[in-house]
Amino acid sequence: MAKGRPAKKYSQAGRLHDVIRLIEARHGITIGELAEEAGVDRRTIHRDLRVIHEAGYPLVSEWQGNGKVYRFLTRFKDVPPVSFTLQELMTLYFLRSQMDIFRGTPFHDDLETIFGKVRSVLPPRYAAHLERIARVSLPLLQGGRDYGKVAEPLRLLREALLYQYRLTLSYLSRGKGEPATYRVDPYTLIYYKGGLYLLGYAHNRRALRTFAVERIGRVEMGKERFEMPAEFRPEEQLQSAFGIVDEEVMQVKVRFSPAIAHTVRERLWHPSQSIAEGEDGSVLLSFAAGGRMEIVSWLLSYGSHAEVLEPPELRGEVARIIAEMAGTYGQG
């Protein structure tokens, strides 16, 4: 018989205590590291993390490098003091002014709380000056969305994104009379052209879907959690789209007149673009992207200054729309 005390049985309570201690001690820790430290398999650690979260601990996960790490959200009072220069504060105030479209939502409320804390530590003169800068840099929005009407769905979306809870939501698709119901794993929010969109995995469609937040109705957040696929990278998801609609890619070529060629040259329209100069001062823009409706809308905004060369079906669609517009405005 071996000398010494027998090995102590490792109870679940003791293991949970150690797992909590390990997460608290590190800024981020992986499932593999927790399993190695606790001497159990990864499946057991997954169950432990679920128990810890259900017990009320603010457990979150995020990608770092090629792996997912787990950590606890810290409260504001636990965060070390952060100092800013006046130039950095001006940048923050400028960006704050661009978020005015979220008035009436949890995001706007959080911003007001954050800047209230900033104002409380600034000399009154500096605080007043930064407020003036923010007021005169307000964005000029045409056709802006009123997200105050969907404040409660946004609050639930924010919680589900933070803690990776599966959602059931009703959604009114464009041109449909009745909303449809979706079971969605919410992956991320996308801010595009003054609009907010939810990107997530729709289980009843078995595919990633993009939802315009203002068309989301009822939202129910269950207790079922989900894991993001290891291959999901939000920055790569829409690289082939012209905007936020991920459709079949087409090769597009457009000739822009000399009158507006300079505005086309100066901008990045798509990562795949190439620009060729015409002898008459025009430019030929080529790119490969999906999102037919977004491309058509963009082309029509240039009127007669943009001519679609390829693909033929896109050229034909633009010609048909222009003919219908001519009929609307009359021929006489």
Both tokens of residue 53?
């979260």
* CB-facing half-sphere around the CA of 269: CA atoms within 13 A: 22
Reported residue count of the chain is 332
121 within domain boundaries: yes
What pLDDT sits at residue 164?
Answer: 87
Nearest to 190 by CA among 212, 174, 169, 172: 212
Coil vs helix vs strand at 320: helix
Tens-place pLDDT, residues 36-76: 888 888 889 988 888 888 777 778 887 777 778 888 876 44
Q: Are residues 168 and 227 in the same domain?
A: yes
List the Cα angle 287/268/304 in 5-degree steps.
70
Q: Are residues 129 and 160 in the same domain?
A: no
Give the residue with greater pLDDT, 308 vs 24: 308
1 within domain boundaries: no
The chain-wide mean pLDDT, for the chain, equals 83
Tens-place pLDDT, residues 150-207: 888 988 998 888 888 999 999 988 767 788 999 999 998 888 877 888 999 999 888 8
Q: Are residues 154 and 130 in the same domain?
A: no
Please say if the pLDDT value at position 253 is more than 90.
Answer: yes
What pLDDT sits at residue 318?
Answer: 95
245 within domain boundaries: no
What pLDDT sits at residue 7?
Answer: 37
- CB neighbour list of residue 141: distance below 8 Å, 6 or more residues apart: 101, 194
Tens-place pLDDT, residues 271-312: 899 999 999 999 999 999 998 999 999 999 999 999 999 999
d(CA 13, CA 275): 64
- CB neighbour list of residue 34: distance below 8 Å, 6 or more residues apart: 19, 22, 23, 45, 48, 70
Residue showing tokens 């609050």: 155
Of 191, 209, 234, the residue at which a domain comes to its end is: 234
CATH number at residue 54: 1.10.10.10
- CB neighbour list of residue 233: distance below 8 Å, 6 or more residues apart: none
What pLDDT sits at residue 80?
Answer: 57
What pLDDT sits at residue 6?
Answer: 38
Number of H helices, E strands in the chain: 11, 11
What pLDDT sits at residue 186?
Answer: 92
243 within domain boundaries: no
242 within domain boundaries: no
pTM of the model: 0.61
Q: Are residues 181 and 215 in the same domain?
A: yes
What pLDDT sits at residue 121?
Answer: 79
Residue showing tokens 């056709």: 143
- CB neighbour list of residue 220: distance below 8 Å, 6 or more residues apart: 156, 167, 168, 169
CATH number at residue 208: 2.30.30.520
What pLDDT sits at residue 193?
Answer: 77
Of 76, 100, 126, the residue at which a domain comes to its end is: 76
Q: Are residues 153 and 220 in the same domain?
A: yes
117 within domain boundaries: yes
Segment among 36-45, 85-94, 95-104 with least mean pLDDT: 95-104
Residue 313's pLDDT band, with cuts at 50, 70 and 90, is very high
Question: In this prediction, what percent of the chain has a pLDDT beyond 90?
Answer: 29
Q: Are residues 278 and 313 in the same domain?
A: yes
Cα of 324 vs its chain's centroid, Å: 36
Please say if the pLDDT value at position 3 is more than 50.
Answer: no
Residue 77's pLDDT band, with cuts at 50, 70 and 90, is very low
What pLDDT sits at residue 309?
Answer: 96
Q: Are residues 131 and 152 in the same domain?
A: no
32 within domain boundaries: yes
Domain with 202, as residue range(s), is: 147-234
Domain total in the chain: 4
94 within domain boundaries: yes
What pLDDT sits at residue 216?
Answer: 92
Both tokens of residue 202?
């729709």
* 67: enclosing H helix or E strand: strand 67-72
Residue type (1 letter), 215: R
Of 210, 234, 258, the residue at which a domain comes to its end is: 234
CB-based contact 284:254 (threshold 8 Å):
yes
Q: Following DSSP, what letter does each residue of 212-233 receive, concatenated?
A: EGGGEEEEEEEEEE----TT--
Strands across the sheet with 274-277, in order? 274-277, 283-289, 250-256, 306-310
Tens-place pLDDT, residues 102-161: 888 888 888 888 888 888 778 888 888 888 777 765 555 556 778 888 888 988 998 888
